[in-house]
Structure 1
C-alpha cells in the first residue's frame, strides 16, 4: 500500500528536512494561536464589572485577529510540503500555552493572563523566524514578522487597559 501522505507533499525547492523544523515550529505556534483564541473568547464571554463593554469589545477584536492568523499559519505549513494540525486533540498535544478552565476570573487577571500569553506567542513566533531563516525559507521568515507585531500590539493594549490610573 502506497504512502497516502505522499499526495500531500506540495512541491517546494526547500530542503524537506529543513522545512520539517519550520513546520514543527509553525504547528506549535498554530496550536498556541488556537489556545489563545479560545481563551480570549472565553474571557470575552465571561468578563463582568464596570469596564465590561470596553474589555468585552477589546477581547472580541483580539480574538478575531488571532483567529485570522490561524489560516495563514496552516497554509504556510502546507506550502512548505508539510502537514498541519488536524483536531482539538492535535492542538492540545502541540500547544505550550496553558488553558484556563476556572469558573470565575477577575477582569484584571484576564487582561494580565492574555497579555502574558500574547508575549509567549511572540516567543513562539521568534522560534518560527529562527527556523525559517535557518532553512532559507524567506516567505515564512517575512510573514512571521507581521504576526509578531500583531501579538506585541495585543500585549500592549492589554497592558494599557489593565493600568490603574
Structure 2
C-alpha cells in the first residue's frame, strides 16, 4: 500500500481512530439508551434531541471505521473491542433526565479530547483526510456539548 503515509504512521493513526470509534459507538449506545428511557417534564424535548444525536453518532461510526479501512487496517467492531478501547463509562441503571444530560455532556467532551489527541500524528503524516474528519467531529461534539450544557443552566 502506497498512499504517501508510511506504515508506522498509518498504524498509529488507525489505533487512535479505533479509540475514537470506540468512544463514538459507546456514546451512541448511551444516547440511544437515554432516548428510550428518559422521563420527566422535558420528556418530549429530550427524547427528540437524543434521537437526533444518536442518529448523527451512528453516521459518524461508519465514517470513522471507513477511514481506518482506507488506511489499510481493520476497524474494531465488537463490544469487547469497544469496552477495551473506550474512555466513556457506561450508564448505571436509568439516571434521572438531568443526569442523562450531564453524562452526555461528559461523553461529548471526552470525544473532543480523543479527537484532539490525534491531530499531532495526522499532521506529522500529512494525513489531511483524517485531520478533516477530526475537525468535523470536533465541531459536532463541541456544539452538541454546548447545547446539552445549556439545558443544565439554572
TM-score above 0.5: yes
1:67 aligns with 2:58: yes
The TM-score with structure 2 as length reference comes to 0.95
Cα RMSD (Å) = 1.2
Listed as ranges, the gaps of 5+ residues in structure 2 are: none
The answer to whether the 8 A contact 1:25-1:131 is kept is no
Listed as ranges, the gaps of 5+ residues in structure 1 are: 1-9
* Deviation of the 1:160 alpha carbon: 1.1
Moved over 4 A (4+): none
1:39 aligns with 2:37: no
1:12 aligns with 2:3: yes
Q: How many residues are aligned here?
A: 154
Of 103, 106, 124, the residue aligned with 1:116 is: 106
The TM-score with structure 1 as length reference comes to 0.89
Q: Which moved more, 1:86-95 or 1:37-46?
A: 86-95
Partners in 1 of 2:3 and 2:80 — Cα distance?
29
* Deviation of the 1:16 alpha carbon: 0.4
The residue aligned with 1:150 is 140
